[in-house]
Structure 1
Amino acid sequence: MKVIIVGSTHAGTAAARQILTRHPETEVTIYERNDNISFVSSGIYLYLTGVIQHLEDMFYATPQDLIKLGAQVKTQHNVLRIDTTQKTVQVANMLTGAVFIDHYDKLIMTTGSSVVVPPIMGIDHEKVLLCKNYQQAQQLYQSLQAGQHVAIVGAGYMGTELAESYASMGHQVTLFHSHEQILNNYLGPEMANAAAELLRDHDVDVHLNERVTGFATSDADRLLVETAQGDYEVDLAVVCAGFMPNTELLRGQVAMDRHGAILINDYVQTSNPDIYAAGDACMVNFNPTGQPAYTPLATNALRQGALAGINVFGNLHPYMGTQATSAMQLFDHTMATTGLTLGAAQKKKLPVRHAVYQGNWRPAYMPTTAKVTIDLVYDYQNRHLLGAQFWSRHDIAQAANTISVMIQNQNTIDDLAYVDMFFQPNFDQPFNYLNLVGQLAVKQEYQYGNQTPRVTARGNWQ
């Protein structure tokens, strides 16, 4: 069988590894328009601050790794057209200019995403940079000079992390966000406010509800950032306005959502049975709502890519979906999130309530401890867990993984309240903080008059 993989992102690399490990006789050709593969963009801010010494360490794999497995890896080859009827791809060799046709039996679309370039006047200014791929990371690093004033446009994950990076290096940082809170897709307003205050405590000038409308050269030959509230003179701006799927090659040939992300089934298969999609090019099956969602995360890409590599040989391993679990280290605090925030659930008009727990992660009699805040979101009708957000000086990121599994398994607040978790004073309270937030939610439902616990069924013990 001949499999063509378009784009050697995390997903494409994972797909190739699965195919060639399980079925080494398969003919696998990978077309990648860059001269590198599988760059970990989420590590850019760590490279800027020197936590990671070499940008090249941020590659998930090298072409040679896949060649050793038996793949034909064609870097600097741009796929110009896909004909799903004839099952062909038209490819241009970017070094020689030669254009040729290749055929496939199965095709895996792993073209990833690109940074959204908002329609802002002057966005192409030489002092305005983007942040996503290897080349852009190099530009960011090369632009660094001591004591700069840096404007960050957009306070999602990437923008917030970059604000921390530049501030920790001693730069003056102004962070612009068009919403009323930072990290609005990941946190509720209370935790987001805490994160914004932490940024301000480290001298980041946070501007909320302020949309950047233009860039220009100032009279002093610096960069002018223009907003409806005023103009700001800076040395450099980095735009972090989100991501959009790279799916133009399949427009009109497979089913997509209105933003151009490819729709997939439970086997990461598109509406065309011979084409699979994985990673930022496609939607995810989002378990908290049971509906497709666009969630461009490396973890989703790796899982979907591996499953594409398995399922091109038949419907062998279903995709379990995702809770979009993620975490961030922000100065001396950890933020983690999984599933829905309260605001996101309310926008979808789900029957939701939330319980907010605050307490020490381990007993006060220990030499040190720290406060943990947990915002637990649940469906008050069936009591299923829908999401949780965490904030603490203590590293509580792995707790988000626990709630992620429980959401996937459709566990309830009653399950969470008394699920078995160990106690040892070095590590937690007699009841783990996850138990405690579950118990708080159960108590809250009793106060609302909803006194019918729903616990996941177990075997009968004799």
Structure 2
Amino acid sequence: MKVAVIGCTHAGTAAIINTAKLYPDAEITVYERNDNISFLSCGIALYVGGIVKDVQGLFYSSPEELGKLGVTTKMKHDVLEVDTDKKKLRVKNLDTKEEFEDSFDKLIITTGSWPIVPPIEGINLENILLSKNFYHSNSIIEKAKNVKNIVVVGAGYIGVELVEAFEMNGKKVTLIDAEERIMNKYLDKEFTDIAEKEFSDHGVKLALGEKVVKFEGENGKVSKVVTDKGSYEAELVILCIGFRPNTELFKGQLDMLPNGAIIVDEYMHTSKEGVFAAGDSASVIYNPTGKRQYMPLATNAVRMGTLVARNLVKNTTKYIGTQGTSGIKIYEYNIASTGLTEESAKREGLEVNTVTITDNYRPEFMPTYDAVTVKVVYEKESKVILGAQICSKTDLTQSINTLSVCIQNKMTVDELAFVDFFFQPHFNKPWNFLNLAGLNAE
């Protein structure tokens, strides 16, 4: 069995390692246009902020490691064309410029995503950078050394984490986003208010509800970011507007969502026999709505890549979907979310109720204790849980994984009230705060 893999970050690495272990006789060839694989891009802000000292720790595999499993990894090889019907692909060696053809029995598409770069005036000025791969992180660190004013465009997780890293390194930072709130895809206003106050208290300028209209420069370098409501000095600009799937090779050959994310079934099959897709190049089944959506998260990628390997020869393990569970630390606060927010549920046309509780997470007779705020979003009629958010100075974010399981299994908020959680004063109260959320629901 000849297996060709295009792209090798999270999903690709998971698919390759598991395929090699499950099918030791398979002939596996990986094509990767970069000269490194398996870079944990979610660690960029930690690297930029100096928390991660050795960048090699952000790589969790290598061509040498894959070679030990019998995998042929062709680095700096760009796949130019793919014919999914004839099961052929054309490849260019980026070092030698040589082009050649290869064939496959099974194709694994893990081409990932790429940052959205809007066609804004001045976008090509020097010192306007992206934040996605190993080279981007090195450029950001190098350029940031000698500048004072940094503007981050885009207030999703990556943008927010970079803002904190820059501020903690003594930079004057402005965060711009066209939306009225930061991280609005993941959190409702009660939680983004906390995060925004933390940034303001640390001297970060928040320019929210502002759309970038142009970049101005001096001597070819960016000097100012102009929005529809103001302008901001900038010696360095990081674009964190979002991602789109790298799937141009397959347009017209495979079924896709409107944004280009490849549609896969529960076994990671695309619309063509023998062709699989996983990770940021593919869509996911989003359990709170039951719809196929685009959700580029490393957690989704490694699960999907593993499932590709398991289902490569025959259907063995179903994809059970995702809740889009995620977490972030902003200064002292630990924040996490899963499923739909109240705002996103209403955008979906769903009738929902919510319950929000704030309580000390463990008994007040203990020497220390912190408040925790939990919000649960649930369907009005059925009371089935659709989403949840949590925030506390003590790291209680693992509780959001519990609520992710609740959503996965279509539990109701009434059932949450009486779930069996242990009690020990070091850790919690007789009524766990998740139970309290259920008890306090309408």
Q: TM-score range by the shorter chain?
A: over 0.9
Cα deviation for residue 146 of structure 1 reads 5.5
Q: Deviations over 1:241-280 (max 9, x none)?
A: 0000000111110100100000010101111121110000
* SS of residue in 1 equivalent to 2:335: strand
Q: Deviations over 1:12-61 (max 9, x none)?
A: 11001111111111111110000000111110010111111122221121
**Counterparts of 2:150 and 2:247, CA distance in 1:** 32
Match of 1:136 in 2: 136
Match of 1:287 in 2: 287
Q: CA, structure 1 residues 382+222, in 2 after alignment: closer, same or farther (shift >3 Å)?
A: closer
Task: List alignment gaps of at least 5 residues for structure 2.
Answer: none
**Counterparts of 1:397 and 1:273, CA distance in 2:** 41
Calculate percent identity across the aligned residue pairs: 44
Match of 2:223 in 1: 223
Q: Tell me, yes or no, if the aligned pair for 1:218 and 1:233 is still in contact at 8 Å.
A: no
* SS of residue in 2 equivalent to 1:415: helix
**Counterparts of 1:83 and 1:426, CA distance in 2:** 60
Cα deviation for residue 220 of structure 1 reads 12
Q: Deviations over 1:324-369 (max 9, x none)?
A: 1110011111010101101111111112111111111111221111
Match of 1:396 in 2: 396
**Counterparts of 2:435 and 2:417, CA distance in 1:** 4
Matched, 1:313 2:319: no
User: What amino acid is aligned across from residue 180 of structure 2 in structure 1?
Assistant: E
User: What amino acid is aligned across from residue 284 of structure 2 in structure 1?
Assistant: V
Q: Deviations over 1:393-413 (max 9, x none)?
A: 110110111011111111111
Matched, 1:99 2:99: yes
Match of 1:118 in 2: 118
Q: Deviations over 1:121-172 (max 9, x none)?
A: 1111112111001111110011122561111111000100011100111111
**Counterparts of 1:273 and 1:132, CA distance in 2:** 31
Match of 1:237 in 2: 237
User: What amino acid is aligned across from residue 369 of structure 1 in structure 2?
Assistant: Y
**Counterparts of 2:113 and 2:146, CA distance in 1:** 32
User: What amino acid is aligned across from residue 87 of structure 1 in structure 2?
Assistant: K
**Counterparts of 1:156 and 1:282, CA distance in 2:** 20
Match of 2:410 in 1: 410
**Counterparts of 1:220 and 1:102, CA distance in 2:** 43
**Counterparts of 1:92 and 1:222, CA distance in 2:** 34
Q: Tell me, yes or no, if the aligned pair for 1:225 and 1:233 is still in contact at 8 Å.
A: yes
Match of 2:376 in 1: 376
Match of 2:276 in 1: 276
Q: Tell me, yes or no, if the aligned pair for 2:126 and 2:220 is still in contact at 8 Å.
A: no
User: What amino acid is aligned across from residue 355 of structure 1 in structure 2?
Assistant: V
Q: Tell me, yes or no, if the aligned pair for 1:153 and 1:241 is still in contact at 8 Å.
A: yes
Q: CA, structure 1 residues 314+220, in 2 after alignment: closer, same or farther (shift >3 Å)?
A: closer
**Counterparts of 2:215 and 2:181, CA distance in 1:** 23
Q: Which moved more, 1:55-64 or 1:214-223?
A: 214-223
User: What amino acid is aligned across from residue 353 of structure 1 in structure 2?
Assistant: N
Q: Which moved more, 1:347-356 or 1:240-249?
A: 347-356
Q: Deviations over 1:172-211 (max 9, x none)?
A: 1111111011001100011111111111111111111011
* SS of residue in 2 equivalent to 1:223: strand
Q: CA, structure 1 residues 133+423, in 2 after alignment: closer, same or farther (shift >3 Å)?
A: same
Cα deviation for residue 235 of structure 1 reads 1.5
Q: Tell me, yes or no, if the aligned pair for 2:7 and 2:31 is still in contact at 8 Å.
A: yes
**Counterparts of 2:248 and 2:351, CA distance in 1:** 37
Q: Tell me, yes or no, if the aligned pair for 1:147 and 1:172 is still in contact at 8 Å.
A: no
Cα deviation for residue 381 of structure 1 reads 1.5
TM-score by length of 1: 0.94
Match of 1:326 in 2: 326
Aligned residue pair count: 442
* SS of residue in 2 equivalent to 1:143: helix
**Counterparts of 2:335 and 2:311, CA distance in 1:** 35
Q: CA, structure 1 residues 147+223, in 2 after alignment: closer, same or farther (shift >3 Å)?
A: closer
Cα deviation for residue 218 of structure 1 reads 4.8
Q: Tell me, yes or no, if the aligned pair for 2:279 and 2:304 is still in contact at 8 Å.
A: yes
Q: Tell me, yes or no, if the aligned pair for 2:127 and 2:221 is still in contact at 8 Å.
A: no
**Counterparts of 2:439 and 2:397, CA distance in 1:** 20
Match of 2:156 in 1: 156
Measured on the aligned residues, the alpha-carbon RMSD in Å equals 1.3
* SS of residue in 2 equivalent to 1:122: coil
Q: Tell me, yes or no, if the aligned pair for 2:215 and 2:222 is still in contact at 8 Å.
A: no
**Counterparts of 1:146 and 1:439, CA distance in 2:** 54
Cα deviation for residue 439 of structure 1 reads 1.1
* SS of residue in 2 equivalent to 1:366: coil
* SS of residue in 2 equivalent to 1:258: coil
**Counterparts of 1:206 and 1:333, CA distance in 2:** 18
Q: Deviations over 1:290-340 (max 9, x none)?
A: 111111000000000000011111111000111111100111110101011
User: What amino acid is aligned across from residue 95 of structure 1 in structure 2?
Assistant: D
Q: CA, structure 1 residues 68+182, in 2 after alignment: closer, same or farther (shift >3 Å)?
A: same
User: What amino acid is aligned across from residue 25 of structure 1 in structure 2?
Assistant: D
**Counterparts of 1:207 and 1:286, CA distance in 2:** 31
Q: Tell me, yes or no, if the aligned pair for 2:125 and 2:222 is still in contact at 8 Å.
A: no
Match of 1:169 in 2: 169
Q: Tell me, yes or no, if the aligned pair for 1:218 and 1:224 is still in contact at 8 Å.
A: no
